[in-house]
C-alpha cells in the first residue's frame, strides 16, 4: 500500500524524497519506512512517525535501522530521528527534514551521538541463546542499575530526575501503566509502594486504560514501565493519562533514546543493557530493582521508614547481585524439573500477595517460549474454578517464600495434592515445606525478605528456558511474538 502511494507521488514529483514526504503526510498511525529507488540504489529515504528509526554514521557508509543494536557491527555513531522526520542518506552524506508543519519538509538538525552500547553487549559470546545470556547477566545488570545508589549511600529522589523531589512532595498516589512483563513488574511495585511508603497505588494494562474513561487525580503520579520505551499502547496510555488531568509522569525504561523517555517529566533508566531475546528476563528484574528503589525513596520522603530501615533497604539492594548469583546456582535442579514439563500441554502457576505477579510472570515465560498453555492464579482463588482442572497430568508450580501468607499457601497446596496434582514448589532456604511424593522442592540459597519477588523470578525464567530447549523451540524468537510492539 505505502509503496503504491509513494510510486503515485513519484509519478508526479519525480523526486523520491518529495514523494516519500507527500505519501507520509497522508499516512495515519505509526510507521517507520525505508525506501530505495531502483534507478538510484545509492540513496535511501527513511521516514518515521510513532515507530523507532535511527541512522548509523560511519566513514565506510551510512545506515538506518529501528534499533541501535542492529548497527553495532558497523558503527556506534547514531542519529535518532524524531516524529515526522524524513532522512535522506547516501554512503557519505545525510540530511534530515521534518514534515510536521510543511508537507515537503523543513530542514532540521538532529544530534549525532555515540551510543554507550558495545558490540559485545549484543553478541552471544559463550552462550547458546540470548535468553540464557540475559538470565545469567542479571547480577551485573542489577548492579549497573543500582550503581548510583551504592555510590550515594542514600535514597535521593534525584535518582529519578532533577525535578523529582518537588514532584514527589506533591504526589498523593501512583498509577502504573504498562504491558506484558512490564505490567507484572508494576503489580509487584504496587505491593511495595503501598506497604513501604504508604502511597495508594493502582496498576493498569495500558491497552485497557487508554480506552476507558478513568477519573484522574492530578496529584497521582503516572508511572510508565517499558523495557523498550516504544510500546504503542503504553505511550498512548501515558498521553491519555495526561489528557485526563494527571499532572506528572515518570518513565522506568531500559532505552535512553526511546519515545517513552522523551515523553515523560521524570525518568529512571534501568541499565540492563540490550535485551535481545523476545522473552524479557533481565529487563524485568532491573525494572523490579528500580521500582523497589522508587518505593524506598517515597518511604524516606514520607517518613514511613526510619534511618535504620533506610540503611537496611540500601544494604538489601547492595546484596541483590550476589543473591541473584546464588539463585542462579539452582539451574541443575531446574533442568531435572524441565524433563517433567516438556511433554505437558498445560501448567498452573500459583502465588499469593506480592508473589502472585511473579507466578503470572512465570506462566507468561513458559507459554511465550515453550508454547505450553500456562495460567497463573492467586492461590486463594484455586477453589473458585481452576481446582477443577487439577489431575495427575497437571503440573502445578507454586511460589512459596517464607512470608505471612505461607501457611495459607500450604493449605492451597494440599488441595492440589488431594486431587493428584504434581507440585513443583519454589521455597526459601529455611522453608518448613517438605519434599514428599508428588511434591518437588527447590530451595533458594537465601531467605530474601522483601526482595524475594526478584529472587523467585530466577527459577521461573530458567524453567521456561530449559523446557523450551528440551522441546526444541526457538527460544529467542518465539513464533508470532515481537520484542517491541510499536503497533496497537
Which positions lie near ligand G6P, rule CB under 6 A?
179-182, 226-228, 231, 234, 278, 280, 481, 483-485
179 versus 475: smaller Cβ distance to ligand G6P: 179
Smallest distance from ligand G6P to CB 224, Å: 8
Smallest distance from ligand G6P to CB 429, Å: 30
Smallest distance from ligand G6P to CB 92, Å: 35
179 versus 360: smaller Cβ distance to ligand G6P: 179
280 versus 457: smaller Cβ distance to ligand G6P: 280
Smallest distance from ligand G6P to CB 120, Å: 23
The number of angstroms, rounded, from the C-alpha of 427 to the middle of its chain's C-alpha atoms is 25
**Structural element, H or E, at residue 408:** helix 406-418
Which three cell numbers mark 57? 554514521
Smallest distance from ligand G6P to CB 272, Å: 11
Strand-pairing partners, residue 266, are: 250
Cα gap 289→170, rounded to integer Å:
24
Query: Cell 537496611 appears where?
Result: 312
185 versus 409: smaller Cβ distance to ligand G6P: 185
Cβ atoms of 61 and 91 closer than 8 Å:
yes
Smallest distance from ligand G6P to CB 483, Å: 6
270 versus 412: smaller Cβ distance to ligand G6P: 270
Report helix, strand or coil for 274: coil
30 versus 179: smaller Cβ distance to ligand G6P: 179
Strand-pairing partners, residue 79, are: 55, 112
Smallest distance from ligand G6P to CB 108, Å: 27
Query: Is residue 381 exposed (0-12), middle (13-18) or buried (19+ Cβ within 10 Å)?
Result: middle
Closest CA to 286 of 400, 181, 175, 174: 181
Cα gap 454→457, rounded to integer Å:
5
Closest CA to 466 of 419, 404, 424, 431: 424
Give, in degrees to the nearest 5, the angle at Cα 397 between 396 and 402: 130
Closest CA to 120 of 179, 170, 79, 69: 69
Percentages helix, strand, coil for the chain (3-state, rounded to 5) are 45, 20, 35
179 versus 189: smaller Cβ distance to ligand G6P: 179
220 versus 287: smaller Cβ distance to ligand G6P: 287
Which three cell numbers mark 82? 524524531
180 versus 395: smaller Cβ distance to ligand G6P: 180
Smallest distance from ligand G6P to CB 177, Å: 10
Cα gap 464→425, rounded to integer Å:
15
Report helix, strand or coil for 36: strand
Which three cell numbers mark 324? 541473584
Cβ atoms of 159 and 297 closer than 8 Å:
yes
DSSP per-residue codes, 348-369: EEEE-GGGHHHHHHHHHHHHHH
Smallest distance from ligand G6P to CB 179, Å: 4
Residue nearest to ligand G6P (CB): 180
69 versus 231: smaller Cβ distance to ligand G6P: 231
Report helix, strand or coil for 145: helix
Residue 129 half-sphere exposure, CB side, CA atoms within 13 Å? 20
132 versus 228: smaller Cβ distance to ligand G6P: 228
62 versus 280: smaller Cβ distance to ligand G6P: 280
Smallest distance from ligand G6P to CB 280, Å: 4
Smallest distance from ligand G6P to CB 235, Å: 9
Report helix, strand or coil for 80: strand
Q: Are strands 266-269 and 249-253 parallel, antiparallel or unpaired?
A: parallel
Cβ atoms of 420 and 435 closer than 8 Å:
no
Smallest distance from ligand G6P to CB 257, Å: 14
Amino acid at each position: 500500500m505505502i509503496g503504491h502511494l509513494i510510486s503515485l507521488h513519484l509519478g508526479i514529483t519525480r523526486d523520491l524524497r518529495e514523494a516519500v514526504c507527500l505519501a507520509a503526510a497522508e499516512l495515519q498511525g505509526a510507521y517507520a519506512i525505508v525506501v530505495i529507488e531502483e534507478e538510484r540504489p545509492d540513496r535511501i529515504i527513511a521516514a518515521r512517525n510513532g515507530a523507532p528509526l535511527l541512522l548509523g554514521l560511519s566513514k565506510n557508509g551510512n545506515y538506518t535501522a529501528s534499533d541501535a543494536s542492529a548497527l553495532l557491527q558497523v558503527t556506534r555513531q547514531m542519529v535518532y530521528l524524531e516524529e515526522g522526520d524524513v532522512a535522506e542518506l547516501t554512503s557519505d552524506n545525510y540530511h534530515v527534514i521534518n514534515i510536521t508543519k510543511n508537507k515537503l519538509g523543513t530542514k532540521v538538525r538532529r544530534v549525532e551521538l555515540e551510543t554507550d552500547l558495545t558490540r559485545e553487549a549484543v553478541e552471544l559470546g559463550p552462550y547458546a541463546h540470548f535468553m540464557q545470556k540475559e538470565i545469567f547477566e542479571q547480577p551485573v545488570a542489577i548492579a549497573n542499575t543500582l550503581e548510583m545508589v551504592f555510590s550515594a549511600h542514600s535514597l535521593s529522589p534525584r535518582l529519578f530526575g532533577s525535578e523529582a523531589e518537588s514532584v514527589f512532595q506533591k504526589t498523593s498516589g501512583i498509577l502504573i501503566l504498562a504491558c506484558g512483563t512490564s505490567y507484572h513488574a508494576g503489580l509487584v511495585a504496587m505491593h511495595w509502594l503501598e506497604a513501604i511508603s504508604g502511597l495508594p497505588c493502582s496498576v493498569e494494562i495500558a491497552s485497557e486504560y487508554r480506552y476507558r474513561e478513568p477519573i484522574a487525580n492530578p496529584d497521582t503520579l503516572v508511572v510508565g514501565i517499558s523495557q523498550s520505551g516504544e510500546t504503542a499502547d503504553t505511550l498512548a496510555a501515558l498521553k491519555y493519562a495526561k489528557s485526563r488531568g494527571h499532572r506528572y509522569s515518570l518513565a522506568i525504561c531500559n532505552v535512553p533514546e526511546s519515545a517513552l523517555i522523551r515523553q515523560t517529566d521524570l525518568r529512571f533508566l534501568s541499565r540492563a543493557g540490550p535485551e535481545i531475546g523476545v522473552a524479557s528476563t533481565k529487563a524485568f528484574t532491573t525494572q523490579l530493582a528500580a521500582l523497589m528503589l522508587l518505593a524506598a525513596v517515597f518511604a524516606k520522603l514520607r517518613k514511613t521508614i526510619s534511618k535504620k530501615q533506610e540503611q537496611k533497604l540500601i544494604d538489601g539492594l547492595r546484596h541483590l547481585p550476589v543473591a541473584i548469583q546464588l539463585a542462579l546456582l539452582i539451574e541443575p535442579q531446574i533442568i531435572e524439573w524441565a524433563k517433567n514439563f516438556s511433554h505437558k500441554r498445560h501448567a498452573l502457576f500459583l502465588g499469593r500477595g506480592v508473589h502472585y505477579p511473579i507466578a503470572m510472570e512465570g506462566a507468561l515465560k513458559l507459554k511465550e517460549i515453550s508454547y505450553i498453555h500456562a495460567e497463573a492464579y492467586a492461590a486463594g482463588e484455586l477453589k473458585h474454578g481452576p481446582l477443577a482442572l487439577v489431575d495427575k497430568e497437571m503440573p502445578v508450580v507454586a511460589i512459596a517464600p517464607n512470608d505471612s501468607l505461607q501457611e495459607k499457601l500450604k493449605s492451597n497446596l494440599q488441595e492440589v495434592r488431594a486431587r493428584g496434582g504434581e507440585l513443583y514448589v519454589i521455597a526459601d532456604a529455611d522453608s518448613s515445606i517438605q519434599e514428599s511424593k508428588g511434591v518437588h522442592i527447590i530451595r533458594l540459597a537465601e531467605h530474601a525478605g522483601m526482595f524475594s519477588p526478584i529472587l523467585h523470578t530466577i527459577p521461573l525464567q530458567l524453567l521456561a528456558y530449559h523446557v523450551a530447549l528440551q522441546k526444541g523451540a526457538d527460544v529467542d524468537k518465539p513464533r508470532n511474538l515481537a520484542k517491541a510492539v510499536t503497533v496497537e
